[in-house]
């Protein structure tokens, strides 16, 4: 059955509309399982499950039969969220007879729920006249089929294909938060040229002209390929020359062109029609068992990109950015962001990427609500659609209904009012009502962060991401280039301290010119492990930092991803070596404070040993949380399991402070938890000396600190840290803050 399943899935993903998908499913599943009926019921906007496709029941009953949740066997499958396998359906107490279906002659019943991200989207059913239970293999096949169907249905919801019955309902897609906040606006799809996967859907005004244009582009590419083949003829052997002939023959393939023509005739623009057809063929060849044919998939993709470049270049239009633009793309880049007028950019949504992606870091520095990793978002079809970006929870809503829009508009208005109100405290001290001071620093990576950070009262930099100058180049930056960048940052914040983290690549931070390919990158070659293996990189960076700090002396050096004491000892030896070298070269270097980041569980249990060897300890709570919970924080499918308020995380964070303070070493924290006001409240109660966060969070955190007493915060910490789970902790925190009127300040924790 595996081959059958692969074949069906391939056909499903090659289809471009929901009606075709459902037709393929019921027809192919019925044939594969040798049964008499296969039907698909989908959840409508009223919460019922409507018969949307069938092969075996009366066709006239399609779209007419609807079952409520837990009504009939179909509704019961949806309510239970698990398969139901019966040899005699009518004997089950939930059996409900619908005469219009003609199903009374079928005894055997197997129904499985179609579930996408914990939401029941529908029910897939097979039936047979003979009284018998479907075997385990058949049940497993249908469960697998329903899982494949779930993603297709979710895409259909987003593009409006399911909004036929009942009131309009918005489609929700989950990602991870890249930058907090809320925005409401219109989608604008940004895509690089000749990217087959990112061609936005557009209609054509005149199909005759569009068809002629398509053929003109085909002819141009055909001529290019023949010319290239002639040019290289003397340099290629016979087999290699045949590749160019194969490319030309593919362009002459009437069936390929015919498929594109049909889509254009249906109203699609040539570039979208071409990309859709090519991607269908790429999927078909990629799934073939024969290795030779699988390899042809890359040839087809290359050819498709060549033609697409002509199609797009000839018709490229300047993107129009509405006043509230939600920029959408598969893998957005800073250059795409730069093309949008800043006064019109309201939100950002990227299908790929993580909270550590360059685009997310830029968004945080600019205060633009952003969602990353929205993997199920059918982004090519969202141009012009109204959207809501919830950067607090990492959700994206498409075509929001009036109630949802009103709710988020109220949240947006509240946020604006709160920001305006908080401006009044930017020059006031960050201390509690009973006089306890907490230093508020910022996380930066770009010089653009500097002004907003200083304007909002930052007292230093707790994390300067030195990898960003490396990410912005196509090679390793020279010592001189690094020195200039670092000097600008140190001068901007002087006399406040600037904590520069040594190069932290690996995991989800890659350099195009220094690729690290690993099966499990988060447990692999990253952080200090990379730079100690390449002391020439480490020494060059440290020398640049030290030279940049000459005369300012506000540098602190921080070592990331340290797991073992010997890593720290070797790094300190190299730093001392760089200091001596520069002194010999005539530089007046004052040795900076050196610290480590506590990011892995092993370091938590050795924090006293680390503290005895360093000048400060800094906690990277983002990585520490994901390692403690074994949850990839950038994976939207498990994002709900990642929570910095988990009891184990809070206990680890408290233990770090206790261990470091035993050695008389100050402790800072620079993860997202520090920028969450309620998280900052607990961290302050634990004894953290410095909280470092994005500049956009600074005033909210200061406001909460100034609104409480340290003694009350400590009492609250003692209450929540013994609670059994995250939900209990959040409920307690929410109740406490609501009782004193502070819940609006801490929106990221509770919404």
| Bridge partners, 39 (sequence order) | 54, 125
175-230: pLDDT as tens digits: 888 888 899 999 998 876 667 877 888 888 888 888 888 888 888 888 877 776 67
Per mean pLDDT, which of 111-125, 161-175, 291-305 is the most reliable? 111-125
Q: Write out the DSSP string of 28-54.
A: HHHHHHT-SEEEEEEE-TTS-EEEEEE
Alpha-helix runs per DSSP H in 323-400? 334-338, 358-366
Of residues 737 and 236, more confidently modeled = 737
Whether the pLDDT of residue 267 is over 80: the answer is yes
The pLDDT-based confidence of 439 (bands split at 50, 70, 90) is very high
381-417: pLDDT as tens digits: 788 899 999 998 889 998 888 889 999 999 898 888 8
| 738-742 average pLDDT score | 78
Which are the catalytic amino acids?
358, 670
Cα dihedral angle (18, 44, 42, 159), rounded to 10 degrees?
A: 20
Per mean pLDDT, which of 80-94, 352-366, 454-468 is the most reliable? 80-94
102-111: pLDDT as tens digits: 888 899 999 9
CA triple 82-88-92, angle to 5 deg? 60
CATH of 431-709, one of 3.20.20.60, 3.40.50.2000, 3.50.50.60, 3.40.190.180: 3.20.20.60
The pLDDT-based confidence of 167 (bands split at 50, 70, 90) is very low
Among 414-428, 465-479, 541-555, 580-594, name the one with the lowest average pLDDT.
465-479
Number of Cα atoms under 13 Å in the Cβ half of residue 120: 26
The pLDDT-based confidence of 318 (bands split at 50, 70, 90) is low
Q: Please, where in the chain does CATH 3.30.450.40 lie?
A: 2-158
Q: Give the other-Cβ count within 10 Å of 144's Cβ.
A: 16
Q: Please, where in the chain does CATH 3.20.20.60 lie?
A: 431-709
- Residue 164: per-residue pLDDT: 42
- Residue 200: per-residue pLDDT: 81
In sequence order, which residues have a C-beta less than 8 Å from that of residue 620 and are 6 or more positions away?
560, 597, 598, 599, 670, 671
Verdict on whether the full-model pTM lies above 0.85: no
Length of the chain: 751
Among 67-81, 210-224, 232-246, 578-592, name the one with the lowest average pLDDT.
232-246
The pLDDT-based confidence of 454 (bands split at 50, 70, 90) is confident
| 648-673 average pLDDT score | 96
Exposure b/e, 227-261, CB count within 10 A at least 16 = b:
eebeeeeeeeeeeeeeebeebbebbeeeebbebbb
- Residue 163: per-residue pLDDT: 47
The pLDDT-based confidence of 161 (bands split at 50, 70, 90) is low
| Beta pairing, strands 616-619 & 667-669 | parallel
Alpha-helix runs per DSSP H in 253-392? 254-265, 270-286, 291-315, 334-338, 358-366
| 634-648 average pLDDT score | 80
**Preceding amide of 624 cis, omega within 30:** no
Tell whether domain 2-158 is in CATH 3.40.50.300. Answer: no
Q: Write out the DSSP string of 56-78.
A: SS-GGGTTT-EE-TTSHHHHHHH
The pLDDT-based confidence of 334 (bands split at 50, 70, 90) is low
Pick the closest to residue 697 from 677, 678, 671 (CA basis): 677
Q: Please, where in the chain does CATH 1.10.274.10 lie?
A: 203-315
| 561-580 average pLDDT score | 96
| 28-34 average pLDDT score | 91
The pLDDT-based confidence of 287 (bands split at 50, 70, 90) is low
Q: How far apart are CA 335 and CA 338, in angstroms?
A: 5
Burial category of 416 from C-beta neighbours within 10 Å (exposed 0-12, middle 13-18, buried 19 and up): exposed
Domain 171-190+320-417 adopts which CATH fold? Glucose Oxidase; domain 1 (3.50.30)
Radius of gyration of the chain (CA): 30
Q: How far apart are CA 626 and CA 648, in angstroms?
A: 11
**Mean pLDDT rounded to a whole number for the chain:** 85
Whether the pLDDT of residue 314 is over 70: the answer is no
Q: Is 334 helix (H, G, I), strand (E, B) or coil?
A: helix
Exposure b/e, 722-738, CB count within 10 A at least 16 = b:
ebeebeebbeebeebbe
Pick the closest to residue 42 from 149, 158, 173, 118 (CA basis): 149
Whether the pLDDT of residue 374 is over 90: the answer is no
The pLDDT-based confidence of 428 (bands split at 50, 70, 90) is very high
CA distance between the termini of the chain: 45
In sequence order, which residues have a C-beta less than 8 Å from that of residue 316 and are 6 or more positions away?
193
Q: Please, where in the chain does CATH 3.50.30.10 lie?
A: 171-190+320-417
Whether the pLDDT of residue 500 is over 50: the answer is yes
Q: How far apart are CA 388 and CA 384, in angstroms?
A: 13
- Residue 547: per-residue pLDDT: 97
Structure tokens at 643: 């929570």
In sequence order, which residues have a C-beta less than 8 Å from that of residue 413 and are 6 or more positions away?
none
Whether the pLDDT of residue 729 is over 80: the answer is yes
Q: How far apart are CA 310 and CA 318, in angstroms?
A: 16
Structure tokens at 252: 């002459």
| 405-430 average pLDDT score | 88
Among 321-325, 417-421, 461-465, name the one with the lowest average pLDDT.
417-421
Pick the closest to residue 200 from 465, 383, 360, 15 (CA basis): 383
Are the C-beta atoms of 149 and 120 separated by less than 8 Å?
no
478-497: pLDDT as tens digits: 999 999 999 999 999 999 99
Among 168-172, 224-228, 239-243, name the one with the lowest average pLDDT.
239-243
Whether the pLDDT of residue 539 is over 60: the answer is yes
Whether the pLDDT of residue 286 is over 80: the answer is no
Kindly report the three-state secondary structure assignment for every residue of 200-244.
Answer: CCCECCCHHHHHHHHHHHHHHHHHHHHHHHHHCHHHCCHHHHHHH
Of residues 675 and 740, more confidently modeled = 675
Are the C-beta atoms of 442 and 458 separated by less than 8 Å?
yes
Domain 203-315 adopts which CATH fold? Enzyme I; Chain A, domain 2 (1.10.274)
Whether the pLDDT of residue 140 is over 60: the answer is yes
The pLDDT-based confidence of 418 (bands split at 50, 70, 90) is confident
| 239-245 average pLDDT score | 57
- Residue 745: per-residue pLDDT: 66
Q: Is 687 helix (H, G, I), strand (E, B) or coil?
A: coil
Exposure b/e, 636-672, CB count within 10 A at least 16 = b:
beebeebbbbbbebbebbbebbebbbeeebbbbbbbb
- H or E segment to which residue 420 belongs: helix 402-422
The pLDDT-based confidence of 327 (bands split at 50, 70, 90) is very high
Whether the pLDDT of residue 751 is over 50: the answer is no
């Amino acid at each position: 059955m595996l081959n059958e399943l692969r074949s069906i899935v391939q056909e499903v993903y090659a289809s471009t509309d929901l009606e075709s998908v459902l037709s393929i499913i019921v027809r192919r599943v019925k044939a594969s399982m040798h049964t008499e009926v296969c039907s698909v019921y989908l959840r409508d906007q009223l919460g019922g499950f409507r018969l949307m496709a069938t092969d075996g029941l009366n066709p006239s009953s399609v779209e007419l039969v609807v079952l409520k949740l837990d009504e009939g066997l179909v509704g019961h499958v949806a309510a239970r969220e698990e398969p139901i396998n019966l040899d005699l359906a009518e004997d089950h107490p939930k059996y409900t007879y619908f005469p219009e279906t003609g199903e009374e002659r079928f005894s055997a019943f197997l129904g499985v729920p179609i579930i996408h991200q914990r939401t029941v989207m529908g029910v897939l059913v097979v039936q047979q006249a003979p009284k018998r239970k479907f075997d385990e293999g058949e049940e497993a096949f249908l469960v697998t089929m329903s899982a494949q169907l779930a993603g297709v249905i979710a895409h259909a919801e987003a593009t409006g294909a399911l909004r036929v019955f009942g009131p309009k309902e918005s489609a929700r897609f989950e990602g991870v938060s890249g930058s907090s906040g809320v925005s409401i606006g219109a989608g604008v799809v940004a895509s690089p040229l000749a990217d087959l996967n990112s061609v936005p859907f557009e209609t054509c005004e005149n199909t005759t002209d569009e068809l002629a244009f398509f053929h003109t582009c085909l002819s141009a590419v055909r001529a290019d390929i023949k010319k290239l083949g002639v040019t290289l003829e003397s340099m290629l052997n016979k087999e290699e020359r045949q590749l160019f002939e194969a490319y030309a023959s593919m362009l002459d393939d009437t069936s390929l062109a015919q498929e594109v023509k049909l889509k254009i005739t249906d109203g699609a623009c040539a570039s979208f029609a071409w990309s859709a057809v090519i991607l269908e063929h790429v999927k078909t060849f990629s799934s073939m068992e024969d290795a030779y044919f699988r390899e042809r998939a890359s040839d087809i993709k290359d050819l498709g990109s060549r033609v697409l470049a002509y199609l797009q270049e000839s018709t490229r239009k300047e993107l129009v950015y509405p006043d509230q633009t939600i920029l959408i793309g598969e893998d957005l880049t800073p250059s795409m962001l730069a093309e949008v007028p800043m006064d019109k950019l309201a939100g950002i949504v990227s299908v790929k990427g993580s909270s550590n992606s360059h685009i997310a870091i830029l968004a945080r520095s600019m205060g633009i609500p952003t969602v990353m990793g929205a993997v199920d978002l059918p982004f090519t079809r969202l141009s012009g659609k109204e959207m809501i970006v919830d950067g607090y929870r990492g959700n994206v809503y498409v075509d929001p209904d009036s109630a949802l829009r009103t709710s988020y508009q109220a949240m947006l208005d509240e946020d604006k009012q709160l920001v305006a109100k908080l401006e009044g405290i930017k020059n006031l001290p960050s201390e509690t009502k009973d006089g306890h001071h907490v230093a508020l620093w910022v996380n930066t990576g770009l010089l653009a962060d500097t002004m907003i950070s200083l304007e909002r009262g930052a007292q230093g930099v707790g994390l300067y991401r030195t990898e960003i100058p490396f990410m912005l180049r196509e090679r390793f930056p020279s010592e001189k280039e690094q020195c200039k960048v670092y000097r600008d940052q140190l001068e901007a914040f002087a006399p406040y301290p600037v904590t520069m983290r040594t190069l932290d690549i690996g995991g989800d931070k890659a350099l195009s010119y220094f690729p690290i390919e690993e099966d499990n990158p988060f447990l692999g070659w990253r952080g200090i492990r990379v730079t100690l293996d390449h002391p020439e990189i480490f020494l060059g960076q440290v020398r640049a930092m030290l030279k940049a700090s000459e005369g300012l002396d506000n540098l602190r050096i921080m070592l990331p991803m340290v797991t073992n004491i010997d890593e720290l000892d070797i790094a300190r030896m190299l730093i001392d070596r760089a200091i001596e070298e520069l002194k010999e070269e005539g530089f007046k270097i004052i040795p900076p404070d050196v610290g480590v980041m506590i990011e892995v569980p092993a370091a938590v249990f050795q924090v006293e040993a680390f503290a005895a060897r360093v000048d400060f300890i800094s906690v990277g709570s983002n990585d520490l949380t994901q390692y403690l919970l074994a949850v990839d924080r950038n994976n939207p499918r498990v994002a709900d399991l990642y929570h910095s308020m988990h009891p184990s995380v809070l206990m680890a964070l408290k233990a770090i402070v206790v261990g470091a303070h035993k050695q008389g070493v100050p402790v800072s924290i620079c993860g997202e938890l520090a920028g969450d006001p309620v998280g900052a409240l607990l961290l302050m109660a634990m004894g953290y000396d410095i909280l470092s966060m994005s500049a956009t969070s600074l005033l909210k955190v200061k406001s909460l600190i100034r609104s409480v007493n340290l003694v009350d915060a400590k009492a609250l910490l003692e209450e929540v840290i013994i609670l059994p789970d995250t939900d209990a902790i959040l409920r307690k925190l929410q109740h406490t803050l609501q009782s004193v009127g502070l819940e609006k300040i801490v929106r990221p924790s509770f919404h």
